[in-house]
Structure 1
Amino acid sequence: MAGLSLAEALKSPEALGGPWKVYGAARQQKPPWFPSSDAVDHFMSFDALSSNDTFQKLSPISDQVTHLFWVAIQHRDTEESNIAANAAMLRNVLEALKSPNHYSKLQHVTLQTGTKHYMGLIFDPILGATKLVHHDTPFQEDEPRLPYPNFYYRLEDVLDEYKESMSFTSSVHRSSIIFGASSRSLHNMLSTLCVYASVCRQDNLPFRYPGTAYTWEHFCDATDARVLAQQHIWAAVTDKAKGQAFNCTNGDVFTWRSLWKVMCEIFGLEFVPFEEEDREFDWVGTMKEKGSVWEEIVERHGLCKTKMEEIACFEVVKTVLCLEFQHVCSVNKSREYGFLGYANTLKSVKMWVGRLRDMKIIP
């Protein structure tokens, strides 16, 4: 979600600090939905968990790379495994970029993390089921780390370890719920809701809200992937932003009730108000049995070949829709430092659904 918008923002004629030469890197080969022209100058595929593969692919350009925009992520079963995998990827890339065969020109690294920094391990299969301590909302950047393992914390520490020896600066970007476009983002809430809406339309089912009365009525915020990309680039070229952490949201709030109405409008579904008995609705279990329905939808509409588990994350969405606090971040610091990017969240949803349709990821 973040990578596509970041690549497009860097190649925009209006990009701060541009014109940029962009190397896009991913573990997989370029997917069929990725724009073929002007999104990146070079697309590179390698496994960042492999130090050899990473060094082989990146060290030849270590004398060209001035900025590293880190939006890579891997999810594992436990947070300790998340820490090991994600820290290894970042270390391998930094080691390759300080290759002794070339003089490193790396000036700045932007690190994308998120609100798990403030909430704790809400997605952990064990800790997530307990009463986690979290910071008060709206979340603010100066809050101390929580007493739980967190790979976001480790990634910040890894950057601190390399800063002095490689002489680069860094910034941290804590996004809220990202609305963007991708077929394989494990935490893509919007694509999950699109799959759900498509299945409801296909099987003539009510589009029931799978959360709680609290989240239905209370405020939440989100991050348009385009705004997130703009903040990454702004921080990369703004001296005042170096060494800082910034929340990144659209600058407004919404209720899931209002967003549900928008989704119904987009997909031609009847709006069904939340009822307390809906809490007993086994949404995750029901949707996991709809894999064959999604395959029919993909075939019928000529979509990119995806399996439901690749494009949807029902457990993650269920967790967020059952939070017992308002998921809202303060963006005061970002504004005070000079970043004024924003988006209208409900309009953003419509745009990104249209983009997912154009990319033939959803019908």
Structure 2
Amino acid sequence: MKKGKIIIVGATGVIGNAALERFVSSGWDVISVSRRKPECKSGSFKHISIDLTKKNECNKIFSSISDITHVLYTALFEKPGLILGWYEEDQMQTNLEMMQNIMEPISASNPGLKHVSFLQGTKAYGVHHHSISIPAKESRSRDDHENFYWFQEDYIKSLQKDSNWTWTIFRPQIVFGYSYGTAMNLIPIIGIYAAICNETKKPFSFPGRSDVILEAVDARLIAKACEWAAFNKESENQIFNITNGDVFTWGDVWSTISQSLNVSPGPDDQIQLSAWLPKQSKIWESIVDKYDLKKNKLSEMLGESHYYADFCFGHGVAENIKAALVSTIKLRQAGFHECIDTEEMFKELFNEFQERKILPKLN
């Protein structure tokens, strides 16, 4: 017997894909929603290919489904170049409208709907505007800046009125997982950078500020938390920070990353990956042929994540960068205690990309 019927929106993204694997393998009836069909090695699922900005199409398709019990919304609209869009009203409005276009018909046509989970992040604390209090806590008042997080949160709370379903918001730190060609996943970016360095006999140098204290979260851990939240009373109408449970600096994990990718690390070197990587398409093509990888063009691999790499690596930032750390006490006290060692996460994820022939196993 299935645990429930969940619709995972944005299933090709880093969190959505991890959730797809988790819920399929855990015995759920799963519908994935994204423009292209996601990969899933865990079993079968139904897929709906759709552009969430098309309101009429969304209404037609999702009004015809009446047995959804859970929704996990991970879809995201980002502009080319990524970072500037975080501050622009039309990008925020598009993210709100995408959520509305699917949640309006689902909430209206699914009387058995029980729970909705969706994502925010540390931008909720204003990390892209200013340094934040350490540790950032969910109980603090809303940071005073424009953010599509607030648009979506206020919308879900309004939609929920007079309904029987509940919601949970997760605020992850830097997310790592299995996806490529997406807006914010550093694993393929680091792997491509390493492969090109190896091919061109260039040292695998960290391309930014390696001394900043950071937190990571494995997308598989978020997926576990989303399943936990689906039935847990303590998760109802709550916001939770989520991390792996440890901290790291790029300088301290770079040797582990280098070993995982079988490359020799070099001294730190300020390289703007958003400008440098797209120029390496011919070299990447030769790497794909040499190691018999899946025929993904470099642009198809990068998405907008090379811009995210510059941001997360602190490229070009001369002044000291204050750590942006969050408290996960609330989530632990609510009953979710899972964690993962960040260095082990890097090893496992790079290995997965190699086993799936997306990144090369370098000689």
TM-score range, shorter chain: 0.7 to 0.9
Aligned-partner SS, 2:63? helix
- 8 Å CA contact retained: 2:116, 2:168: yes
- Whether contact under 8 Å (1:106, 1:166) holds in the other structure is no
State yes or no: 1:292 paired with 2:282: yes
1:320 is matched with which residue? Answer: 312
After TM superposition, give the deviation of residue 309 of structure 1 in Å: 3.2
Is the 2:20–2:40 contact (alpha carbons within 8 Å) kept by the matching residues of 1? no
Q: 1:166 & 1:304 partners in 2: Cα distance?
A: 46
Q: Match for 1:362 among 343, 359, 363?
A: 359
CA contact (8 A) 2:136 2:326 kept: yes
Find 1:48's aligned residue among 52, 58, 61. Answer: 52
Deviations 1:97-150 (A, max 9, x none): 134xx4532111001121111134x3xxxxxxxxx3342222221222222211
Residue 160 of structure 1 pairs with residue 160 of structure 2: no
- Summarize deviations over 1:37-71 as a string: whole Å, max 9, x none: 51x4211111111112212222222x210110111
CA deviation string 1:288-341 (max 9, x = no partner): 311221122223323233232332322211112217121322111110111101
Cα distance in 2, alignment partners of residues 301 and 114 from structure 1: 36
Q: For residue 265 of structure 2, give the secondary structure of its aligned residue in structure 1.
A: coil
Partner of 2:75: 72
Deviation at 1:165, TM superposition (A): 4.5
Q: Distance in 2 between matches of 1:179 and 1:73?
A: 16
Worse overlay, 341-350 or 156-165: 156-165
TM-score (norm 1): 0.86
When the two chains are superposed, the root-mean-square deviation of aligned CA atoms in Å is 1.9
Residue equivalent to 1:125: none
Alignment of 1:197-236 (within 5 A): 197-212=194-209, 216-236=210-230
Letter of the 1:265 counterpart: Q
What is aligned with 2:63? 59
Q: Match for 2:311: what amino acid?
A: T
Q: 2:267 & 2:310 partners in 1: Cα distance? A: 17
| Equivalent pair of 2:69/2:110 in contact (CA under 8 Å) | no
CA contact (8 A) 2:77 2:91 kept: yes
CA distance in 2, matches of 1:269, 1:145: 44
Tell me what 1:330 maps to: 327
What secondary structure does 1:11 align onto?
helix
Q: What amino acid does structure 2 have at the position aligned with 1:74?
A: F
1:298 and 1:96 mapped to 2: Cα distance? 43
Q: Is the deviation greater in 86-95 or in 320-329? A: 320-329
Equivalent position to 2:185, from 176, 188, 195: 188
| 1:2 paired residue number | 15
Q: Which runs of 5+ in 1 are unaligned?
A: 14-18, 123-131
After TM superposition, the score normalised by the length of structure 2 is 0.86
